[in-house]
Structure 1
């Protein structure tokens, strides 16, 4: 589907998954007690799930209270851009087998901090849009 004279184009789920699968950075949105928070983080997309690492703190506490999350990633140049949003349930990994599997993923902290907790987001809804970058159209005044 295309809107705004081809300036915004909605992607198919497969197109959105393809772009999401190639990303390593995005933003995680959570909400607890009607207070939204957003966290930048690096990730690894594994099949139809998103794997992240974290430490004790606000993000982990939020996930323990409300598993429903939204992950967004995007990219742009001077001519085009895109955004993919994935919604789902976050599960803090606790089992030995699932932690060992996560340890084998190519996911390492980007900053020198210890992040010992793995979280896997089971995506149940995905959407994406492509944007054609350009000047604002002339306004029509009647």
Structure 2
């Protein structure tokens, strides 16, 4: 991890991707006009992209209108945690080669539904923080430094 001057550490891009790869569920944020949606999705990291499966419906329609997305994943324990936010563009995979490669990924729907559309999020930016939990510092001591 990067050097830290306190309980919050900025993660490098590599560390962000490593953390993302340890999880299977994240939150996808889409927006169309004034409507912003956030939905949990299961995913897999594939290189420096995120891949998920979906079915025709509002999520896929929204991505067709506006491919810009935000994707967030975090993990928290008793004494520490981390959060990674990925900004990028999402697109449904269309070619036979892309779909065949995606079908080889360890990505199955969590619920027993048919989700034949693979979507890849190509990152334009990834940021992350790790946290060490503890008691709140004395308010007066912080302001007197």
Verify: 1:51 aligned to 2:51, yes or no: yes
Q: Is the 8 A contact 1:23 1:45 kept in 2?
A: no
Q: CA offsets per residue over residues 43-93 of structure 1, 9 Å max, x none?
A: 010001100000122211110110011111110111000001111110111
Q: What residue in structure 2 maps to residue 36 of structure 1?
A: 36
Q: What is the 5 A alignment of 1:13-32?
A: 13-32=13-32
Please give the secondary structure, in 1, of the residue aligned with 2:45.
Answer: strand
Q: What is the 5 A alignment of 1:61-100?
A: 61-100=61-100
Q: What residue in structure 2 maps to residue 118 of structure 1?
A: 118
Please give the secondary structure, in 1, of the residue aligned with 2:51.
Answer: strand
Q: CA offsets per residue over residues 101-121 of structure 1, 9 Å max, x none?
A: 111111000011111111001
Q: What residue in structure 1 maps to residue 109 of structure 2?
A: 109
1:131 CA displacement: 0.8
CA–CA distance in structure 2, aligned partners of residues 83 and 2 of structure 1: 17
TM-score, L = length of structure 1: 0.92
What RMSD in Å do the two structures reach over aligned CA positions? 1.7
Please give the secondary structure, in 1, of the residue aligned with 2:37.
Answer: strand
CA–CA distance in structure 2, aligned partners of residues 89 and 97 of structure 1: 20
Structure 1 runs not aligned, ≥5 long:
none
4+ aligned runs moved over 6 Å, structure 1: none
Structure 2 runs not aligned, ≥5 long:
none
